Structure 1
Amino acid sequence: MNAPAAAAPLPVTFRPTVTRIVLLAIGFGVLAVMTLIAFLLPAEGAVVWGTGDRAAFVGSGLLVLGVTALLARPRVTADRDGVTVVNLTTTRRLAWAQIVRVTLRPGDPWVTLDLADGTVLAVMAIQPGVSRARSMAQARTLRALAETGGTSSRD
């Protein structure tokens, strides 16, 4: 991440698109299969499957969909006032002045933000697992925005 990057026009949102598509497709696929199984279970015979059993199958599919939707949630949105980082279960709004450095080192699972209060915040939305080049470009853009305080793209 040594090359300078031009700041993107604001607002800009980064998210792991391919990962999101795969996770949501898996979640809806599992829900569809579990629902189909629930309807195909025999109501009569040696083993009787009742309404509660069928509901449990559909409920399991909904649970899998919920988990995959949660995993597909990460994004980071930059606007003129700062960034909003949405990770799995948390959302954090930061002003540009709070961001000291944007980092993506080889082997890191995602970008991290070094903050003015001495803490580090993971940005799970920019992850090199699927496309290293894309994540590097997004990290450079976020770094450029952080270095300019989000001003270069609106002036």
Structure 2
Amino acid sequence: MSDLPDLPVTFRPARTRGIMLTAAVAIFVVVTAVGLLLKPLGPGERASFVLTAALLAGVMLVLARPKVLAEESGVTVVNLTTKRRLEWAEIVSVNLRPGDPWVFLNLSDGTSLPALGIQPGIARERAVADARALRALVEARSGAGPEAPRG
């Protein structure tokens, strides 16, 4: 099938990631600068500003982490705090229905795994295209038959 993307391919919310990374840097710089420029603060208080800035930036970096990596051997889903490796045959279907915050992978064990790396937030068309591409890869590699389009 010529519509399949070349492997390996990484799906991630690029705009959201860019915003999160930019915000992390901006938050760190601004909060640190405020802490260092306030004259009446002692060294401990200034250090607490820098620590707070680092913690806030760290949260933004965690929010920028999600991705879905499709390779010859399977799919790796990286969410906020978890990472799960799946064989192609484990994925039964790829769903992105209207109103869903991200793609859901229905698995052969009867569970569903959220894949935050494909989310329609501020780039719906990109997310729909990515979900279709991942769905086509799953159908081609797992032996599952095509289902009705969703998304």
Distance 2:105 2:2 in 1: 17
Q: Which has the higher contact order (CA 8 A, sep 6+)?
A: 1
Per-residue Cα deviation, 1:60-102 (whole angstroms, up to 9, x for no partner): 1101110000000000000111100000000000000000000
Which residue is equivalent to 1:60?
Answer: 52
Which residue is equivalent to 1:106?
Answer: 98
2:124 aligned with 1:127, yes or no? no
Q: What is the CA distance between 1:110 and its match in structure 2?
A: 0.4
* TM-score between both structures, scaled by the size of structure 2: 0.91
Instruction: Please provide the CA RMSD for this pair.
Output: 1.6
What amino acid is the match of 2:7?
Answer: L
Which residue is equivalent to 2:71?
Answer: 79
Change (3 A) 1:70 1:118: same
2:86 aligned with 1:94, yes or no? yes
Which residue is equivalent to 2:26?
Answer: 29
Q: What is the CA distance between 1:38 and its match in structure 2?
A: 1.8
Which residue is equivalent to 1:15?
Answer: 12
Which residue is equivalent to 1:118?
Answer: 110
Q: How many residues align?
A: 143
Distance 1:150 1:28 in 2: 41
Q: What is the CA distance between 1:131 and its match in structure 2?
A: 1.6
Match of residue 3, structure 2, among 1, 6, 27:
6
Q: What stretches of structure 1 of length at least 5 have no aligned partner?
A: 43-47
Larger radius of gyration, structure 1 or 2? 1
2:140 aligned with 1:148, yes or no? yes
Q: What is the CA distance between 1:150 and its match in structure 2?
A: 7.1
Contact 2:89 2:142 in 1 (8 A): no
Q: What is the CA distance between 1:5 and its match in structure 2?
A: 8.5
Q: What stretches of structure 2 of length at least 5 have no aligned partner?
A: 144-151
- Structure 1 stretches (4+) deviating beyond 6 angstroms? none
